[in-house]
Amino acid sequence: MDASFWLLQFLNAMQYSMLLFLLSIGLTVIFGLMHFVNLAHASLYMLGAYFGISVSALTGQFWLAFILSPIIVTLIGAILYYTLIDRMRAAGPMNQVLVTFGLIFVILDLVRLGWGDIALGLDAPDALAHTVSFWGISYPAYRLFIIALGLTIMISMWVVLARTQIGAMIRASVENADMAASLGIHVGRLFFVVFCFGCALAGLAGVAAAPIFSATTTMGITILIPTLIVVVIGGLGSLEGAIAGSLIIGFLETFGAVLLPSLSAVLTYILLAVILVLRPQGLIPARG
């Protein structure tokens, strides 16, 4: 196990962490802001992958798919918001979980009707379809792109949340929605914008993941559990929590897989149990 082994696995871990981050940040901010558990978030990830594949197949342009697919997913998210999410806001967490859990299966069957049961692949764009050699290793360029994409979104979200007025409004609404509303912040509209943004990120994660993982009808359900674990470990509602959680899970699963293969499946759950016992609010929860 030389330096190149560690570097390779470090990049593998980063790449997985960034995908988890793109998914969990939407889920956790929606929860932090609206106190709404949207389990169907992972279905939007799946839709992102399938729409990406269809747009790419129709136009032959990966980058067009990369932009259009999150937009389509956002539109679907907006429709869901007005038809279901908004009216479930006051219904309590149990009903929300049931409705969005049901939604997972509805979307799943719609995807099966539209795209069939056979897994579909998407080719990485030509510009990124090669491997890059550096420091004695060669690594797929597309995976480096995903790492860069995740880091860019991570930093820009931090800047927006910490340094801009809309960021201050979001943070204020997370901490105390009533007080924020009485200060003149249109909390309802803010919720909608944040919800749509979360959907767009889920769609983006889906289309970004498609060239690596291919699209299957079970991809939404399989990614839901690690995403929820990231959110629980990181702490609900906070950007820092989502960053910490996705890095911890990404590294734990990647290094667990190569160093302790027989234990790798349970490592995450052991960590989850330890966190829930010692620090049930998560590592870096949002205040409020």
Partner 1 sequence: MKSLFAKMAMATSLGLGMISVQLPAHADTKVGLILPYTGTYAALGNAITDGFNMAIEEAGRTDEFSIVTEDTEAKPPVGLAKARKLVLQDKVDVMVGVVSSGVLGAMRDFVHQSQTPLIVANAGNNLATGENCSPYIVRVSFSNGQINRPMGTWMAENGIKTVYTLAPDYSAGHQMIESFSAAFTAAGGEIAGSDFTPFGQTKDFGPYLTNAQSSGADAIFVFYAGGGAINFVKQYGSFDIKTPLYGSGFLTSPLYVAAEGDAAIGVRASLHYIPTLDTPENKAFVDAFMAKHGTMPSEYSVQGYDAGLALMAAVDAGGADKKNIAAALPNVSYVGPRGALEIDPATNNIVQNIYVYDTVMGDDGLTQKLIDTIPSVRDDVAGCQM
Contact residues for partner 1, defined by CB under 8 A: 5, 8-9, 12, 15-16, 54, 112-121, 123-124, 129-131, 138-140, 142-143, 211-214, 216-219, 222-223, 254-255, 257-258, 261-262, 264-265
Q: Torsion-angle region of residue 112: left (phi > 0), alpha (psi -120 to 50) or beta?
A: alpha
Q: Which is nearer to partner 1, 70 or 253 (CB)?
A: 253
Is residue 30 a contact partner of residue 38, using CB atoms and an 8 Å limit?
Answer: yes
Q: Which is nearer to partner 1, 5 or 63 (CB)?
A: 5
The minimum distance between CB 108 and partner 1, in angstroms, equals 9
The minimum distance between CB 72 and partner 1, in angstroms, equals 12
Is residue 234 a contact partner of residue 282, using CB atoms and an 8 Å limit?
Answer: yes
Q: Which is nearer to partner 1, 160 or 212 (CB)?
A: 212
- Measure the CA–CA gap between 165 and 187, rounded to whole angstroms: 14
Output the DSSP codes for 210-252: HHHH-B-TTHHHHHHHHHHHHHHHH-TT-HHHHHHHHHHHHHH
The minimum distance between CB 81 and partner 1, in angstroms, equals 24
Q: HSE on the CB side for 258, CA within 13 Å?
A: 12
Please, what is the end-to-end C-alpha distance for the chain in angstroms?
46
The minimum distance between CB 214 and partner 1, in angstroms, equals 4
Q: Which is nearer to partner 1, 96 or 216 (CB)?
A: 216
Q: Which is nearer to partner 1, 258 or 283 (CB)?
A: 258
The minimum distance between CB 140 and partner 1, in angstroms, equals 4
Q: Which is nearer to partner 1, 160 or 267 (CB)?
A: 267
Is residue 249 a contact partner of residue 226, using CB atoms and an 8 Å limit?
Answer: yes
- Measure the CA–CA gap between 68 and 271, rounded to whole angstroms: 37
The minimum distance between CB 267 and partner 1, in angstroms, equals 10
